[in-house]
Amino acid sequence: MAYAADCDTRGPAATAAARPVTLKILVAGGFGAGKTTLVGAVSEIPPLCTEELLSGIGADADPLDGVDTKTSTTVALDFGRITLDTGHVLYLFGTPGQERFWFLWEELSAGALGAVVLADTRRLADCFPAVDFFERRGIVFVVAVNEFDGGHRYTAGEVREAVGLAPGVPVVHCDARLTGSATAVLAELVHHLLSTAAPAVPAQPTDRGEPT
């Protein structure tokens, strides 16, 4: 079983005070952009596919009558874990970025450090909704250009221009299949977070701003 490989020997009685800080990074991108591959490449547990119900359950109103006969569609969440050290565990969630999944992203982005948007250069437009989502909520993200064989090679500048990214947003190339490359993308995000975390900068808005 996945966690049997975990060398954490704490028993169930481990105190709450000793619990590591929960760090969360989101991995977004269009269909086939490499989300599952990237999460799998960096995760210390076999990547899990957790599913959420698409009908927005968990939000508000849902008549409970007869639901046991109702069918529902799910959306896949790739789930991975990286134990950085005893005090810090990083969790990754990957899920499609299309607008109709945004209700899911609302929950997922609570407490998240930031996000990786995977861009497949064969279908660059597929990453636009994810970029919009993170921009609007002021969630720090990097764009990782996943270069598929046969895909057109764009320079970072070309991708930046096509996606209409703000100047500071890093654009990096990666091969989501390689642990080193995928880990470097996460490191780039955290590095970017650090560089934008100048202590004197006023707090970013915490409301969901309208697009400007």
Partner 1 sequence: MIRARAVPGKGAPREPAPWLDDSAGRVVRPYTASGGRTRPAVALDLLSSVTATGARPRAPLGAEHTAALRLCAGAAAVTVAEVAGQLRLPAAVAKVLLSDLVEAGAVTASAPRFPGGGGPYAAADDQTLLQAVLDGLRRRL
Ligand X SMILES: Nc1nc2c(ncn2[C@@H]2O[C@H](COP(=O)(O)OP(=O)(O)OP(=O)(O)O)[C@@H](O)[C@H]2O)c(=O)[nH]1
User: Of these, 48, 122, 148, 156, which contacts partner 1 (CB under 8 A)?
Assistant: 48
Specify whether the backbone of 111 is left (phi greater than 0), alpha (psi in -120 to 50) or beta: left
Nearest approach in angstroms of CB 151 to partner 1 is: 14
For partner 1, what does the binding mask look like between residues 66 and 105, x meaning CB under 8 A? Answer: xxxxxxxxxxxx-x-xx-xx-xx-xx-x--x-xxxxxxxx
Nearest approach in angstroms of CB 49 to Mg ion is: 8
* 108 CA to centre of own chain: 8
36 counts as binding Mg ion under rule CB under 5 A:
yes
- Degrees (nearest 5) of the Cα angle 68, 70, 73? 120
Cα–Cα distance measured from residue 197 to residue 211, given in angstroms and rounded to the nearest whole number: 22
| SS3 state at 31 | coil
Q: 208 contacts which partner out of partner 1, Mg ion, ligand X, none, CB within 5 to 8 A by kind?
A: partner 1
149 counts as binding partner 1 under rule CB under 8 A:
no
User: Of these, 25, 28, 42, 96, which contacts ligand X (CB under 6 A)?
Assistant: 96
Mind spelling out the 3-state secondary structure of 129-140? HHHHHHHHHCCC
**Which positions touch Mg ion (CB under 5 A)?**
35-36
